[in-house]
Amino acid sequence: MANPNLKLATSDPPPRSPERAALADVISRHDALMREIENAKAAHAKAREHRYDAQCALEKARADADAATDIDSFIEAVNSGDVAEQLKTAAGPVDNIDRLERDVERWQMTEEACKQRVEEMEHDTRYFPVFAQRHIDDVVKTEADIDVLLDGLDEMWTEVNRRLSILSWLHGNKRIKDEDVKKVFSAIQYNLIEDSAAVDGWRQAVKNLMQNADAELPQ
């Protein structure tokens, strides 16, 4: 039987820093905007479908009206004495045309409004990388442990310069074995070159922050 006094250990995420909270807000608003865009695109597609259906119905109604008001049929109706019936038959399609024209106009206006809304929101999304990058920079500035990176650096440079000086002197005086000349020459040409392997982790962390405000930075 389970002990009712035994509490399950929970692992609540640590509270976000102000910088990460601001980044999370930007990401959340961008995600909400993307959902709105998808909804607006669906509404635009639906309005376009309705407008097309109404346009097809309008074209059919116009064809029916043309057939109902055909001059030969009208003359035949006059000769047979059925003028009133002929006029009544012709009036129906004409009334239907007026209604369908209003339908087409309404759906066309709706389609254009939805399209404009999509374009406006998509324009707003262009600013997301800029806003997000500012907050990402703030996160990195506050969390990157610069002291750790600087710790012992002077001593390391001193040791590097000591070794390079000795190697340079040995190389200059031709006191290096032939098989070692190439690698020594490469060393004494030393310049500060970006260590891609060391930086790759930071590059990926910044990319991760673009999608996840809680992404960790390298230690």
- Spans of all domains in the chain: 18-130
Tell me what pLDDT residue 166 has.
81
Q: Say how far residue 160 (Cα) sits from the centre of its chain.
A: 46
Question: Residue 170: its pLDDT value, please?
Answer: 81
> Interior CA angle at 113 toward 108 and 118, to 5°?
125
Q: What is the predicted pLDDT for the residue at 113?
A: 94
Q: What is the pLDDT of residue 99?
A: 87
Q: C-alpha angle with apex 35: 124 to 12, nearest 5 degrees?
A: 105
Q: Are 121 and 33 in contact (CB under 8 A)?
A: yes
pTM: 0.64
Chunked mean pLDDT (size 10), the chain, 219 residues: 50 83 94 95 94 91 71 56 52 72 92 94 92 93 90 88 82 83 80 62 87 86
pLDDT at 3: 53
